[in-house]
Amino acid sequence: MGLNEYFDFLAPDDIRIKGHRIGIETVLYEYLYRERTPEEIQQLYPTLTLAEVYTTILYYLQNQESVSRYLQDWLEWSHQQR
């Protein structure tokens, strides 16, 4: 199973963890900006498995340039909404 099969690509700016309404930005924000461990993230979002959290981080690491842009766009949109 490829990494992409763990995610639902609903739109260029909306990537969700398959089987959840949680977007990859939720996990990656906790990991990158709040410096939480995968185990801490899984405790915050108990519907996610630890494997799903690690898979999301691995997806980021393998696609760092495009996912970093995705996150930047999401952060800018979030700030505009406030």
Residue 61 maps to a domain: yes
Residue 34 maps to a domain: yes
Residue 52 maps to a domain: yes
Domain count, the chain: 1
For residue 10, what is the enclosing H or E element? Answer: strand 7-11
Per the structure, the complete domain to which residue 18 belongs is given by 7-81
% of the chain at pLDDT higher than 90: 82
Query: What are the residues facing 9 on neighbouring strands?
Result: 15
Using the structure block, give the residue that is written with the tokens 């199973």. 1
Q: Is the pLDDT of residue 48 over 90?
A: yes
Residue 64 maps to a domain: yes
Residue 74, Ramachandran bin (φ over 0: left; ψ between -120 and 50: alpha; else beta): alpha
Residue 2 maps to a domain: no
Residue 1 maps to a domain: no
Q: What is the pLDDT of residue 3?
A: 82
Three-class SS state of 30: helix
Q: Write the CATH number for 11.
A: 1.10.10
Provide the CB-side half-sphere exposure for 47 (13 A, CA): 8
Q: What's the whole-number mean pLDDT along residues 47-70?
A: 96
